[in-house]
Chain A
Amino acid sequence: MDFVLSKEQQMARALFREFAENEVKPLAEEVDETERFPEETVEKMAKLGMLGIYFPKKYGGAGADVLTYAMCVEELSKVCGTTGVIVSAHTSLCCAPIYEHGTEEQKMKYLPKLCSGEWIGAFGLTEPNAGTDASGQQTTAVLEGDHYVLNGSKIFITNAGYAQVFVVFAMTDSCAGNHGISAFIVERDFPGFSVGKHEKKMGIKGSSTCELIMEDCIVPKENLLGQVGKGFKIAMQTLDGGRIGIASQALGLGEGAVDEAIAYTKERVQFGRRISQFQNTQFQLADMHTRMQAAQFLVYSAAMKKEAHVPYSMDAAMAKLFAAEAASDVTRRAVQLFGGYGYTREYPVERMMRDAKITEIYEGTSEVQRMVIASALGVK
């Protein structure tokens, strides 16, 4: 596997790093403290083409590749996990299924506005009784003439408070199990659609996580995404791609914590020596960096496979599993290296530790990733 970045990818990484450092990092603490969605950052990212990185220019995208997108989420997450997941959910969970499964009309209608940031996107699969078992969808969609009527609710929907477009899953045939699920493109302004309770979370506090409520929600027939009954497959394929985004977020969080810990331990003096001079610190940081480097290889490998249109489901699962667990471990160790200061909100590592935990849970828990990997290995 060759990880030599092209000149364009190197330039893009430099752009993301500079942008993260100048525009995102200064807001990260306040966004977390006040649980505020960083609208101004989203607007700036939109102008730079960061909300449609790997989609063709024809649809308003930047015409780059999946690895460049992964690097964008990685660099943003190094300084702010909230900003990383906003881009990830918008791109992987809303733009991608429309691009991959939409009709030409749907793509031309939705992607230019999503890629330009005029509209933010979200994805509605999880329900109160359908979390890891996503097949247990209770939201229903009934065809009535030229439209579907959707009823039900979704929970834990990232970007929901600010999104205009939602890719929503609902049962069109409750007797057909997974094959009874269909996907729809739902606009915020459709009659009967509303955004409900805003969740208060442990981490990624600036991201908007809300409930979606559909009460006799009218969705035009032409907003069916893909074929009737193929929704579960669309959801699973979308989550394969989404896992690259979340793995990139985890990767960035872990790398950010390593950067912070290196800087801090070179300054902090105890027992008359900088704590970076103690072998324990050196070994900890060596292990932390090695874990994140291994995570980066897995994430980049999965991104390159998706770009090459070769099967990447297991690669994305391995990348997310490993990067998420590495991020949780590395951020926790960073707090330990900071000692008491690390536990205070004066330093960013406790925020990184809180932010990292969710990467083991959303878009498929680590346990689900293990199921995907084992299944791909034929282990039954």
Chain B
Amino acid sequence: MKAIVCVKQVPDTSGKVAVNPDGTLNRASMAAIINPDDKSALEAALQLKDNTGCEVVVVTMGPPPAEGMLRELLAMGADRAVLVSAREFGGSDTYATSQILAAAINKIGLESDDVVFCGRQAIDGDTAQVGPQIAEKLHLPQITYVAGVEKVEAGKVVCRRELEDGYMMIETATPCVLTCLKEMNEARYMSVSGIMECYAKPMEVFNYETLKDDPLIQIDTIGLKGSPTNIFKSFTPPQKGVGMMMEGADKATCAKLAGILAGKHII
């Protein structure tokens, strides 16, 4: 059994967000961090390792400096890392990214009791698309918005799926994809001994050559050419104005409120 964890290095948006003149994110001027949802996904995988002794493999797609993040994940307890990195993969949107990551997971090898952990969404794009797309492309069952991995038994996983107005307990067969919420746990720190070991742990680089024989990898399914997303305009939305407050429980106030709502075609 193994847990494959997909992670993304993202700009830290908790501080000042730097934007280029063309409206795109100025990644170079912002600190790079591990995407918070992905960190919790790794913690969930490491807890599975604590309980079952399974292997934990971390995968990221990014430029060569992303190795630093992978070493941190190895220092937290992951067993091996895969850096998916090639010029051909640059400019990929979520469709192309999931195409490449799915091929990388194929290359790592999926066995019947494996679980693929992803974060729900990355804080830079906020799409929440890559995890589900990986599942579709690998023809795997998926549970999104996972707030807790309740049970992992031979061939099945039970998760708590958190929704806005409640939760669902879902059981699915393995191999499967889970997309995790950062609220599901508090990710552990690296350990000092983990840091001392992390550069000795295996780290493979999957480039275009490594993955090109996978049917998912075609020149028009990866990189900029394989990305159907087009950004027409990027802008900072105007700040919302102050809302209108009405006080009183009398008929006149209610009638006035109903009038306003009707005027806006809300009711």
- Beyond the given A8-B199, A48-B189, A64-B195, could you list 8 further A-B residue pairs with CB under 8 A, ordered by the A residue number? A8-B196, A11-B72, A11-B75, A18-B189, A48-B191, A63-B193, A63-B196, A68-B192
Determine if B192 and A49 form an interchain contact, defined as CB atoms under 8 angstroms apart.
yes
* A72 CA to B189 CA, complexed, in Å: 14
> How many of chain B's residues touch chain A, expressed as a range?
10 to 19
Determine if A47 and B192 form an interchain contact, defined as CB atoms under 8 angstroms apart.
no
Residues of B within 8 A of A (CB): 71-72, 75, 189-196, 198-199
Instruction: Please judge, given known A-B contacts A8-B199, A11-B198, whether A49 and B72 are in contact too, CB under 8 Å.
Output: no
Measured between beta carbons, the chain B residues less than 8 angstroms from A68 are: 192
Measured between beta carbons, the chain A residues less than 8 angstroms from B71 are: 7, 11
* Sample (9) of A-B pairs whose CB atoms are under 8 Å apart: A11-B190, A48-B190, A48-B192, A49-B194, A53-B192, A62-B195, A64-B193, A64-B196, A68-B192
* A219 CA to B248 CA, complexed, in Å: 82
- In the complex, whether A343 has a CB less than 8 A from a CB of chain B is no
Determine if B193 and A12 form an interchain contact, defined as CB atoms under 8 angstroms apart.
no
Determine if A15 and B190 form an interchain contact, defined as CB atoms under 8 angstroms apart.
yes
Determine if B195 and A12 form an interchain contact, defined as CB atoms under 8 angstroms apart.
yes
Measured between beta carbons, the chain B residues less than 8 angstroms from A8 are: 195-196, 198-199
- In the complex, whether A57 has a CB less than 8 A from a CB of chain B is yes
Measured between beta carbons, the chain A residues less than 8 angstroms from B193 are: 49, 57, 61-64
A-B pairs, top 9 by smallest CB distance, nearest first, are A49-B192, A62-B192, A62-B193, A49-B193, A11-B195, A49-B191, A48-B191, A63-B196, A15-B190
Closest Cβ of chain B to A290, distance in Å, is 27
> In this complex, what residue of A is CB-closest to B194?
A49
Measured between beta carbons, the chain B residues less than 8 angstroms from A49 are: 191-194
Measured between beta carbons, the chain B residues less than 8 angstroms from A64 are: 192-193, 195-196
Question: Which one, A7, A18, A62, A72, contacts B191 given CB within 8 A?
Answer: A62
Measured between beta carbons, the chain A residues less than 8 angstroms from B72 are: 11
Determine if B189 and A19 form an interchain contact, defined as CB atoms under 8 angstroms apart.
yes
Closest Cβ of chain A to B72, distance in Å, is 7
Closest Cβ of chain B to A80, distance in Å, is 17
* A8 CA to B199 CA, complexed, in Å: 8
* A50 CA to B189 CA, complexed, in Å: 12
Contact with B along A228-241 (1 / 0, CB 8 A): 00000000000000
Number of interface residues of A (CB under 8 A): 19
Question: Which one, A7, A15, A53, A57, contacts B199 given CB within 8 A?
Answer: A7
Closest Cβ of chain B to A209, distance in Å, is 27
* A144 CA to B181 CA, complexed, in Å: 65
Determine if B189 and A12 form an interchain contact, defined as CB atoms under 8 angstroms apart.
no
**8 Å CB contacts to B: which residues of A61-110?**
61-64, 68, 72
> In this complex, what residue of B is CB-closest to A50?
B192
Closest Cβ of chain B to A357, distance in Å, is 30
Determine if B199 and A12 form an interchain contact, defined as CB atoms under 8 angstroms apart.
no
Closest Cβ of chain A to B74, distance in Å, is 10
* A68 CA to B189 CA, complexed, in Å: 16
Measured between beta carbons, the chain A residues less than 8 angstroms from B198 are: 8, 11
Closest Cβ of chain A to B209, distance in Å, is 27
* A8 CA to B75 CA, complexed, in Å: 10
Closest Cβ of chain A to B189, distance in Å, is 6
Closest Cβ of chain B to A354, distance in Å, is 29
Closest Cβ of chain B to A54, distance in Å, is 9
Closest Cβ of chain B to A11, distance in Å, is 5
Determine if A47 and B191 form an interchain contact, defined as CB atoms under 8 angstroms apart.
yes
* A64 CA to B192 CA, complexed, in Å: 7
> In this complex, what residue of B is CB-closest to A51?
B192
Measured between beta carbons, the chain B residues less than 8 angstroms from A63 are: 193, 196
> In this complex, what residue of B is CB-closest to A72?
B192
* A72 CA to B191 CA, complexed, in Å: 12
* A49 CA to B191 CA, complexed, in Å: 6
* A12 CA to B75 CA, complexed, in Å: 10
> In this complex, what residue of B is CB-closest to A7?
B199
> In this complex, what residue of B is CB-closest to A22?
B189
* A7 CA to B193 CA, complexed, in Å: 14
Contact with B along A1-35 (1 / 0, CB 8 A): 00000011001100100110000000000000000
Measured between beta carbons, the chain B residues less than 8 angstroms from A19 are: 189
* A19 CA to B190 CA, complexed, in Å: 10
> In this complex, what residue of A is CB-closest to B68?
A7
Measured between beta carbons, the chain B residues less than 8 angstroms from A53 are: 192
* A12 CA to B193 CA, complexed, in Å: 10
> In this complex, what residue of B is CB-closest to A13?
B195
Question: Which one, A15, A18, A47, A61, contacts B195 given CB within 8 A?
Answer: A15
Closest Cβ of chain B to A321, distance in Å, is 29
Closest Cβ of chain A to B199, distance in Å, is 7
Measured between beta carbons, the chain A residues less than 8 angstroms from B195 are: 8, 11-12, 15, 62, 64
